[in-house]
Chain A
């Protein structure tokens, strides 16, 4: 899979560590897995909380689209990356909402951009991929 950016740089690098999970309704378990991975990779405090929340918001976006998806986490000396790849089916409105506020379907991508140091969103042949990076600092 061509994953680009920070995660691609990890692909064959020495000491690169990556994990992949399928996104399901069990968001609590997914958050726990991302937290454990990112904590072991050196994130802590607000940085760790921010990445876990960003990954959660992206996963919620995938679930909102009505399809399955994959979450990949990777670590390098600079920080931790999370890629979320959505399914092919469904509308693409899950991630594309505005600032948080009352009413459904708001907050996800806006919040992710506030939480992460780098965010990119691209189209992989009909599937949306969101890449997020949080530096160790």
Chain B
């Protein structure tokens, strides 16, 4: 099997949860991330920052998990922010035009700032 991914999270004041992913994010490991996202959300409108800086590979299965998280967040007027994707993951996000839906930031700090700027419980707008 593909090497397992390592997942960790920290909750910040203001309803922002930063999830760090380390490892290849593919159709198999994406299932672990999907389950993990369900466990770290304390409120449905929590704003998620997913740190991709330690993800050397992203495929369509992994991307689907990120897009599903986006859809779930939108249902609760929230948003998913992606932080610091490496070159391959950034290319996948661009090629698939997923970056039209998922907010992509160069650093975790930028993503956290953007997430904090999203007013909780209000429709953040943008492409749904």
Q: Quick check: A111 and B96 within 8 Å, CB to CB?
A: yes
Interface SS majority for chain A: helix
Q: How far is the CB of B35 from chain A (nearest CB, A)?
A: 15
Give, as a whole number of angstroms, the nearest-CB distance from B28 to chain A: 7
Q: In the assembly, what is the distance between CA of A53 and CA of B88, in Å? A: 9
Q: Is the CB of A31 within 8 A of B57?
A: yes
Which residues 10-61 in A have Cβ within 8 Å of B in the complex? 25-29, 31, 46, 49-50, 52-53, 56-57, 60
Contact A101 B1 (CB under 8 A): no
Asked if A125 is at the interface (CB within 8 A of a chain B CB), the reply is: no
A56–B60 CA distance with the chains assembled, in angstroms: 9
Binds B, one of A1-9, A76-84, A102-110, A126-134: A102-110
Q: How many inter-chain residue pairs (CB < 8 Å) link A and B?
A: 70
A114 in contact (CB, < 8 A): yes
Instruction: For A114, list chain B residues within 8 Å (CB).
Output: 95-96
CB under 8 Å from chain A, chain B span 20-40: 24, 26-28
In the complex, what residue of chain B is closest to A111 when comparing beta carbons? B60
The interface residues of chain A lying within 8 Å CB-to-CB of B64 are 100-104, 106-107
A residues less than 8 Å from B68 (CB atoms) = 102-103
Q: Are A102 and B96 interface neighbours, CB within 8 A?
A: no
Within the assembled complex, what's the spacing in Å between the Cα atoms of A25 and B27? 10
Q: How large is the interface on A (under 10, 10 to 19, 20 to 34, 35 or more residues)?
A: 20 to 34
- List of A residues within 8 angstroms of B127 by Cβ: none
Question: Which residues of chain B come closer than 8 Å to A102, judged between CB atoms?
Answer: 64, 67-68, 70-71
Whether, in the assembled complex, A115 has its beta carbon less than 8 Å from a beta carbon of chain B, the answer is yes
Q: Which residues from chain B contact A28 at a C-beta distance below 8 Å?
A: 1-3, 24, 26
Residues of B within 8 A of A26 (CB): 1-2
What is the interface of chain A, defined by CB distance below 8 A to chain B?
25-29, 31, 46, 49-50, 52-53, 56-57, 60, 63, 99-104, 106-108, 111, 114-115
Q: Which residues does B use to contact A, with CB under 8 Å?
A: 1-3, 24, 26-28, 57, 59-61, 63-64, 67-68, 70-71, 87-88, 91-92, 95-98
Question: Besides the contacts A28-B3, A29-B2, A102-B70, what 13 more A-B pairs have beta carbons closer than 8 Å?
Answer: A27-B1, A27-B2, A27-B28, A28-B1, A31-B57, A49-B87, A49-B88, A52-B57, A56-B59, A102-B64, A108-B60, A111-B95, A115-B95
